[in-house]
Amino acid sequence: MNDNFIYDFCKMHMPNMSDKSIQQFGSILHKEEYNSNENLKDIENIAPKKFYIVINGIVANFSNDKKANKEYIRAILFEKHIFLSVSDLNIVERISTDYFKCLTKTTFLVGNLDELLTLAQHNYELFLFIVKLNQVSIYYLQNRLDRLSLLDATDRYKIVKERIPNIDNLIPQYQIASYLNITPVQLSRIRKKMYSN
């Protein structure tokens, strides 16, 4: 089951990871497929008991502003991104709800977090792998915040196009605009200016 993908994913994050640890990690994963516009919360109550690795397709982490009743895209995830929900944390001051929705047909490897933690109790290399995955997640979050704070919308759009070159053909413009934290009209102007040069 996707042995090459699992091997590449593990080696991407931890180049010296042993084949034994990669096999143990792979043993707790199974494949799931979702259609475009399927909300993972509707299909199954996504919780920290499960983690998801994108094999192919595009999925977004949405935030729904309770006061404005408006939906924002927090993150766009694609091949080899890993995620889990933090929505069950007991934080009193939640101003939004969050959920994951497939923007295209998407295939995942899905694992149970408790099973991974149990394996890591007996395999220090898997424990280090979990630490590395957390570091990568924090890095992506910092990068996202830096881009929103330090770059203009045109530069943010160029980065998205570098990461997913055909994104304009895969998902609606309003979703790209939401991710960039701009309006669809602003995105249209940016695209017109870029493609006219």
pLDDT grade for 12, boundaries at 50, 70 and 90: very high
Mean pLDDT computed over 82-87: 76
Q: How many residues does the chain have?
A: 197
Beta bridge partners of 110: 30, 52
pLDDT grade for 46, boundaries at 50, 70 and 90: low
Quote the distance between the C-alpha of residue 152 and its chain's center. Answer: 22
Q: Tell me the pTM.
A: 0.84
Nearest partner of 186 among 140, 153, 148, judged by Cα? 153
pLDDT grade for 74, boundaries at 50, 70 and 90: confident
Residue linked to tokens 């199974």: 30
pLDDT grade for 183, boundaries at 50, 70 and 90: very high
What sign has the CA pseudo-torsion 104, 110, 112, 118?
negative
pLDDT of residue 48: 53
Q: Which CATH superfamily is domain 3-150 in?
A: Jelly Rolls (2.60.120.10)
Residues 48, 106: Cα–Cα separation, whole Å: 20
Residues 62, 174: Cα–Cα separation, whole Å: 13
